Amino acid sequence: MPASVRHRHPALRLITLLLLLAAAACFGVSMVRISFSPSFIAALQQLPGLGALPTACVNGGIAAYSGLTLATGGDPTVNAACLSHIRDAGQANLGVQPLTLLAGLAIVGAVALIVWGPRGHRLLSGALSLVAGTLLVLNALQLGQVFAGHFGRGASAITSGPDLGLWVVLGLLVLVPLVQLVAAGVGWVRLALAPIEEGSPARH
């Protein structure tokens, strides 16, 4: 293998590790946010004397769930500007979400492979990244049913949706295998061109 290809491995390893660590850190950022549903807002506005909901409730939502919250079953972060009288968010605790937990463990496994795994096995970190991203997407798709089951009839008053943290984590996880594929492609091209470069006449 050419020296240029060999010397690129430490840089690739560092870039991959930084991407995975950033994805793990973003698990602490809001991934899912619940808000009042449009039908509930419309119904409130039709009731005399109530008026419109505060802007903080409409734009900022009611509560936010980070990846860490979903993975550990912790309490969500309540939007105090909307519901200032709520002090205990335990009633909105969804419990441990297995798919999010497995996604977090997959990221940890990918980091472990980068740091301690043999060179041939480090490429598995890209596969684990894709697995983690797929699990997060599946979890986001089924969270609507989780909210409906948790809040019962009250679930019709809220709507859930992905938040910024989910998109950031997914983007970082997709970048891991992409970076590895690009680096591998460059390496293969260099290996293919090496015989041509060695056989070409030396310039004086």
Q: Check residue 156 and give its pLDDT.
A: 74
Sheet holding 158-162, edge to edge: 77-78, 63-66, 30-36, 158-162
Q: Check residue 105 and give its pLDDT.
A: 97
Instruction: State the pTM of this model.
Output: 0.81
Q: Is the dihedral of CA 175, 171, 17, 128 positive or negative?
A: negative
Closest alpha carbon to 16 in 125, 170, 168, 166: 125
Determine contact, residues 63/77, Cβ cutoff 8 Å. Answer: yes
Residue-wise DSSP of 18-49: HHHHHHHHGGGSEEEEEEE-HHHHHHHHHSTT
- Rounded to whole angstroms, the Cα distance separating 73 from 98 reads 10
Per-residue pLDDT tens digits for 15-52: 999 999 999 999 999 999 988 877 777 776 666 655 56
Per-residue pLDDT tens digits for 126-157: 999 999 999 999 999 998 888 888 877 666 77
Q: What SS3 state is found at 123?
A: coil
Strand partners, 162: 32
Percent of the chain whose predicted confidence (pLDDT) is above 70 = 79
152 Cβ contact partners less than 8 Å away, ≥ 6 residues apart: none
Q: What SS3 state is found at 200?
A: coil
Tokens of 77: 């972060």
Q: Check residue 197 and give its pLDDT.
A: 55
Q: What SS3 state is found at 190?
A: helix
Tokens of 30: 């809001």
